Structure 1
Amino acid sequence: MQTNAPGRGKLKVTGILYIIFGALGLLLSLALLAGGGLLLAAGAGTVGIALGAVAGILGAITVLTAVFYLILGILGVRNCDKPEKCGVNFVLGIIVLVLVVIGLVVNVATTGPSGALSSVVGLVLSILYVMGAKENKDAHAMAGKV
């Protein structure tokens, strides 16, 4: 069923951006995991082991984030023309929006306002994703009532 999807553009563009960020995140996580593994393997004292463990933990967190962004992006691109399936996009968009707001608050608290630029970009991106999903979800709801 293909109907009018007013949020199509927002969902498609933000979905593509989330796919790109997810792919870049996977590359970063591989570098973190490799670096952490090298530090652990070298066993360069307690500092090297501690840094290796931290790099490994950050790499694992980055993998999870990157996979979530890939799923979010793929679903955004896939469902941008399908308002009847945008409920999932809306829920995932709200989840990422909440996580970005938490990250923004933590980032500003730890680094000050100057360190919040990347979080603001993430905030704008997640707001646009949620808006596109909501527009499509509302269009589907209105089409069902007609």
Structure 2
Amino acid sequence: MNNTELKGRLMLKVVGILYIVFASFSILAGLVAIAGGAALGITGGGESLALGLGALAMILGFVAILSSVFSLVVGILGVKWCNRPDKAGTLFVLGIILIVLAALSLLSSFGGDSSSSVVSGLIGLVLPVLYTLGAWQNKQSLQ
């Protein structure tokens, strides 16, 4: 099959590149949070509030890095396999996982006072939906 027949190829490639870029920045932010939390814990002079906030920042940084590594892998696979209709099923499943995670993030934003968190949650659904759509289009090209 000619790769130009794969309708989702370009969408997977572009969204994959965006995932790589955003995940890289998020990993960097997670590392900064870990370093900042450690610095706060060290310079807090043994105060329990500083130690607690430092530990919390480090934990949140670690969680951010873990989720960003998943996004980085998904982005790399999207770019790498955008021309492979035999891998479209795997990319589709990864896209569904991304949609579920983005939906959970959106649901958690409804408890807050700010409508901007809901808007950002809705925007956060766009990339996973486009990724999944591209994988689905490639999957349809295989049939």
Give TM class, smaller chain.
Answer: over 0.9
- CA–CA distance in structure 2, aligned partners of residues 77 and 10 of structure 1: 10
SS of 2:6's equivalent in the other structure is: coil
Residue 117 of structure 1 deviates from its aligned partner by 2.4
SS of 1:110's equivalent in the other structure is: coil
Q: Structure 2 length as normaliser, TM-score? A: 0.92
Residue 114 of structure 1 deviates from its aligned partner by 2.6
Stretch moving more, 4-13 or 40-49:
40-49
Deviations 1:72-130 (A, max 9, x none): 10000011111111111111110010010010011122234332222222101110000
Mapping for residues 77-116 of structure 1, pairs under 5 Å: 77-116=79-118
Identity over aligned residues, as a percent?
43
- CA–CA distance in structure 2, aligned partners of residues 98 and 16 of structure 1: 20
- CA–CA distance in structure 2, aligned partners of residues 108 and 43 of structure 1: 34
Mapping for residues 12-23 of structure 1, pairs under 5 Å: 12-23=13-24
Q: Structure 1 length as normaliser, TM-score? A: 0.90
Query: Which 5+ residue runs of structure 2 have no aligned equivalent?
Result: none
| Structure 1 pair 15–111 and aligned structure 2 pair: CA distance change class (3 A) | farther
Deviations 1:36-87 (A, max 9, x none): 1111222441110111011011001011111011101000001111111111
2:40 corresponds in structure 1 to 39
- CA–CA distance in structure 1, aligned partners of residues 19 and 13 of structure 2: 10
- CA–CA distance in structure 2, aligned partners of residues 51 and 133 of structure 1: 41
> How many residues in Structure 1 have an aligned counterpart in Structure 2?
141
Structure 1 residue 66 and structure 2 residue 73: aligned? no
1:10 corresponds in structure 2 to 11
Residue 2 of structure 1 deviates from its aligned partner by 5.1
SS of 1:111's equivalent in the other structure is: coil
Selected match of 2:141 from 136, 139, 142? 139
- CA–CA distance in structure 2, aligned partners of residues 50 and 89 of structure 1: 40
- CA–CA distance in structure 1, aligned partners of residues 10 and 124 of structure 2: 18
Residue 134 of structure 1 deviates from its aligned partner by 0.7
Answer whether contact 1:25 1:63 (CA < 8 A) is retained. Answer: yes
